[in-house]
Structure 1
Amino acid sequence: TVKDEELFGLPAEELLYRLYHEEVVEVFEPQTVSFFCGCSPERSGAALLLIPETEIDEILDEHKGSIDMQCECCGTHYFFNKEAINKLKQAQ
């Protein structure tokens, strides 16, 4: 129901009134937005340890001795080889 001219040309308050004039609409002060991802090597390693050991060994063999886990949120890669996985197991 909104035309391009209205969407890009009207102040936010007027546009909200036109769309929701039968409702009580409250406009809050703007806030800065920042990105935070809670991923870490420890969390990725803990997720890796949920996979059965035989399957981990198969993945290591298939991927030349290294497992690459990528965070779907921020894109960070975490690499685990057999030695790193053994250290994770010992730390449990």
Structure 2
Amino acid sequence: MPTIRQASAGCGRLHAGSGKGQAAALPLGSVAPLRFIADQLRENAAIRHIAAELERSPSTISREIRRKRHPVSGQYRPHAAQARADARRPRP
């Protein structure tokens, strides 16, 4: 299985680390990290493990999962949630 860095090559911008020798973190808004979170949840991975792989805080991952769960089934559905967010976004 490819790493999240390999899977996300070219899938959006990378944020530079704030400290010397720090790796860049992936934005949660790109497709690859969302797909990675969904895959890891299907495999019953711990939120701390997912957070470590994405170089994010466990609270950030937890919030992402909570916000993008389906209102009825409770499943993490990032693409459906993104479609709902896009529909709410004001158009210029």
Q: TM-score, normalised by structure 1?
A: 0.29
Which has the higher Rg, Structure 1 or Structure 2?
Answer: 1
Q: Using CA pairs below 8 Å that are at least 6 residues apart, which structure has the higher relative contact order?
A: 1
Q: Which of the pair is proportionally richer in strand?
A: 1
